[in-house]
């Protein structure tokens, strides 16, 4: 069993939704990068996450939504657009917070769980995790996962510890 097969098995995938969204972005020439837990997996020992967090270039969002119609259930929120499919438990979240747009310029082609995709730079992934953890409106369980991801990064890349605000409790 390869990484993709494992990941699709864990996500109850009847279809390879991650490959489908990557192919859609590539086919439409829409600039993007992966952030969140799967992006962390590109740099440190992977853990399973059913969330695929993506930043899409602002002028490509409408093109992506048009192409996603009929393939995904689309839900719009103040800072994100969620795509879901009955064919997988993967939750795709398009991040529309403008702070993340700069991440696209610095993204790198990486392999994550068997998928080749554009991933935010390590420093940008850490920054995104710091922003997420610092958002007091997020559920406590999500913030704890963000903290664990921050710790995973700085344990593997200790030089980045200085980028983490003192208000974030680091117990390494």
Within-domain flag for 88: yes
State both tokens at 147.
């903290």
Instruction: Inform me whether the pLDDT recorded for 21 exceeds 80.
Output: yes
Within-domain flag for 166: no
What is the reported pTM? 0.92
CATH number where 9 lies: 3.30.460.10
The label of the residue with tokens 């529309």 reads 96
Nearest-10 crossing angle of helices 61-68, 17-27: 130
Is residue 34 classed as helix, strand or coil in its secondary structure? Answer: strand
Strands 73-77 and 51-56: what pairing? Answer: unpaired
Strands 115-119 and 80-85: what pairing? Answer: unpaired
Residue with more model confidence, 105 or 12: 105
Within-domain flag for 134: no
Domain count, the chain: 1
How does DSSP assign 82-140, residue by residue?
EEEETTEEEEEEEE--GGGHHHHHH-EEEEETTEEEEE--HHHHHHHHHHHHH-TTS-H
Within-domain flag for 51: yes
Per-residue pLDDT band at 91 (split at 50, 70, 90):
very high
Within-domain flag for 155: no
Q: What is the pLDDT of residues 32-90, one digit of tens each?
A: 999 999 999 999 998 888 899 999 999 999 999 999 998 899 999 988 999 999 999 99
Residue-range definition of the domain harbouring residue 81:
3-121
User: Exposed (0-12), middle (13-18) or buried (19+): which is 168, by Cβ within 10 Å?
Assistant: middle
pLDDT of residue 142: 92
Within-domain flag for 135: no
Within-domain flag for 103: yes
pLDDT of residue 20: 93
- ∠ at Cα 144 (121, 165), nearest 5°? 55
């Amino acid at each position: 069993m390869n990484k993709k097969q494992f990941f699709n098995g864990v996500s109850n995938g009847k279809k390879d939704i991650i490959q489908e969204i990557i192919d859609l972005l590539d086919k439409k020439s829409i600039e993007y990068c992966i952030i969140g837990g799967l992006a962390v997996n590109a740099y440190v020992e992977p853990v399973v996450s059913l969330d695929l967090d993506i930043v899409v270039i602002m002028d490509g969002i409408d093109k992506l939504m048009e192409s996603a119609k009929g393939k995904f259930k689309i839900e719009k929120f103040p800072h994100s657009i969620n795509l879901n499919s009955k064919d997988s438990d993967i939750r795709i979240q398009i991040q529309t917070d403008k702070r993340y747009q700069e991440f696209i310029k610095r993204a790198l082609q990486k392999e994550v769980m068997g998928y080749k995709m554009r991933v935010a730079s390590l420093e940008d992934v850490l920054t995104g995790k710091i922003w997420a953890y610092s958002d007091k409106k997020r559920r406590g369980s999500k913030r704890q996962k963000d903290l664990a991801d921050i710790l995973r990064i700085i344990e593997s890349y200790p030089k980045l510890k200085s980028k983490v605000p003192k208000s974030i409790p680091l117990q390494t």
